[in-house]
Structure 1
């Protein structure tokens, strides 16, 4: 009987590790930072939280970059014949590691086409030979998920902390069309960065602790019975 009780207690104790491992939870923690919209071109440094290694085992890091573009594009054809013109309002936003290697790139883009007549005699970006997009706004988004050991080491530390990442926005607007064109662009851009850490943390359920307590009680009962028999 004593051997059976002891075996049950040992089984309960061993089960704690198995249940804890089976119920290991996949969790995430996210840090965000923004760069307000401003005239392109610009460079910024954003501070984001590192992963706190005391939380568990890091499994992946997702870098998400959103870009906002606002601006106006204008063009005038100086040709003596009609032409089709395409204005593209665009920007390139790039997020960098501290060593200046690129993590994520996004390209917000707005496109508008025009059919211009022969030059009407006025460079006013209006009339029949010119046009304007008016104020336009568009967004772009891209993400990258890393499971590289080098990124895990770079973006994590005991207790967490802050890592500084570079973010820049370059105006990349263009005009295309046959003939002689006079064009101008005014663009501004802003960016939003989110870094999400996915990790595994052991999360024992209340039943696990109950099993552990039951095992310990069994061991205690067996010990008391053995002591009582020794006195008899």
Structure 2
């Protein structure tokens, strides 16, 4: 597959652009902080920035991305790299390919994920979409598999703390749908995540820490990759 990538380069450091192999399937665009605003409306799928390069304020670039999103342009992921001499180009390429394959930027505008509709998602849909068993989902929600089955059948409804956990899980699933293609959700949940201190998102959910995972997903949706 190919993807349209903007590489921001300026200053005296070796630019990231030169680290990509010649046979890469990525369509690389050289850009600058001044030019990036124009590039944002030009069908970009990803922006790569070396945070250690001089004369680049990444916060301003991120602000331009957010501004473009409010103007109707799909949010564009920004991946930040400290591009040292010993950094292997293939490491960057693999990361870029993974993001391009996993992130579905257009899902944020899909009808089923519009704000407010997340509350109607069913428990069965959550289990299927996450690729987890009912036993694991029951553990996440702090209940038994038997009780979960009764909730699904509509025989009983969760209350108190369990209902709160279910509502949080529904919102997490809504965020997963905004950040990833459906096929990529199970993979994301099972891969160790540096921002989660090396734990997998599924581990975070099983520990009942919905807030940490929500923060990570919000960051993904806003397009911030470090």
| Higher normalized contact order (CA 8 Å, seq sep 6+, divided by chain length) | 1
Specify if TM > 0.5.
Answer: no
TM-score by length of 1: 0.21
Pair member with larger Rg:
1
User: Hey, which of these two has a bigger chunk of helix by percent?
Assistant: 2
Structure with the higher strand share, 1 or 2: 1
- Name the TM-score, length of structure 2 as normaliser: 0.21
